[in-house]
Structure formats: C-alpha cells, structure tokens
Amino acid sequence: MELCQYPCQDRIRRFTLEAIQIPIVYNRYGDYDPGGLLYVLEQDSQRIQKEALRRFRLTPPQPYEEVQPLVLRVNLGDIVKVRFRNRLNRRLSIHVQGLAYDVMTSDGTSTGFNQDSTTCCETEYTWYADTEGVFLFHDMADPRSSEEATNIHGLFGAVIVEPPGAKWFHPETG
C-alpha cells in the first residue's frame, strides 16, 4: 500500500526533548560513566535527573531504570516535530538515520554548504515517518570517537514507526 493511501498522512506528532548530563550507573556494582548524556522528554527531565543522582550517591552507586536510550513511537504517515532544547554548555543536535527530512533544516549536522542544524540553545527538527521500522538517532554536533565526544556517553535513541492506527500501551500497566 502506498503512503498516500494511509489515513493518518497529515497527523503531526510533537515531542519536546532535551539533553541532560548525569552519571550513568551500569550495574549494581557501581560501575559508571561520570560524563553520561541522555536525550529525555522535557517533562521527565527533572524527575530522571533527581532520582538518578539520588541513586548515584548510594554506596555503591546504583542504576536507575529510566536512565536508558530514549524511544519515540509514531505511526506511518506521521509528521514528527521534535523541539530540541539544549541547556548544556556545548553544541548538540539530533540526527536521525533512515527517516525523510529536509537536509537544510533537520539534518542535525553542520556539514558542507548546508545550514548548521546543531544548536547551543533550541531548534526544531521535522522528520517524515514514511517507512515502518526502527530508526536510530544520535548527536552529530560532535561526531568524534574520543572521550570528549557525545555518542560514547549515551546521547542516542530510536524512533519506532508503526502501522497507521497502531496504539501503544504502558508495558506494565497496559
């Protein structure tokens, strides 16, 4: 079936994300990354930071289950608007792989003659959910593979594009 035949072709799905920096504890033995970075929904940011830091202060530091890569769920045909707020002291972005977008405004990189779509403050990306599947995203403002770069510290996530009309429920409460 072609995309133009799907019923939710003009539906806009909006998300407001931010990047946070917290120690990411990997296991119950207290192994952690002191420079951990996460994409989070803005409405969850304070709660996640507060609980992650509380558990980090335990002896030994303990992991927090909400410290994990962010997953956004949308339906095929949705237009995905992501407002990205960056309050950290470095340029950051969100670069999605596999979804359609305008490279001049929503690529999440600063390359070639394209407009810089990284930010030190706030920007909005528009992606088109034109194919079902799982599409990864990550920061492309600092693509180095060193300890100073961002992806090595957890700044990545995924967009899951499901069939039109698919519904998703809380995994524990339904």
Residue closest to 84 by CA, chosen among 174, 173, 155, 10? 155
List, in sequence order, every residue forming a beta bridge with 24; answer none if it has no partner: 33
Per-run averaged pLDDT (10 residues), the chain, 174 residues:
50 97 96 96 98 98 96 96 96 96 91 85 96 96 83 92 90 79
Name residues whose C-beta falls within 8 Å of residue 87's C-beta, 6 or more positions apart in sequence.
Answer: 18, 19
CA torsion 134-143-152-126 (nearest 10°) is -30
Rounded to 5 degrees, what are φ and ψ at 159? -115, 125
What number of helices (H) and strands (E) belong to the chain? 1, 11
Spatial contact of 147 and 36, defined as CB atoms under 8 Å apart = no
| Two structure tokens written together for 90 | 């470095």
pLDDT of residue 60: 97
pLDDT of residue 1: 42
Q: What domains, with CATH codes, occur in the chain?
A: 3-162 (2.60.40.420)
pLDDT of residue 9: 57
Instruction: Give me the sheet containing 156-162, strands edge to edge.
Output: 70-75, 156-162, 133-138, 95-96
Q: What is the DSSP string of 25-54?
A: E-STT--EETT-EEEEEGGGHHHHHHHHHH
Name residues whose C-beta falls within 8 Å of residue 80's C-beta, 6 or more positions apart in sequence.
Answer: 12, 13, 15, 72, 74, 99, 126, 127, 128, 129, 159
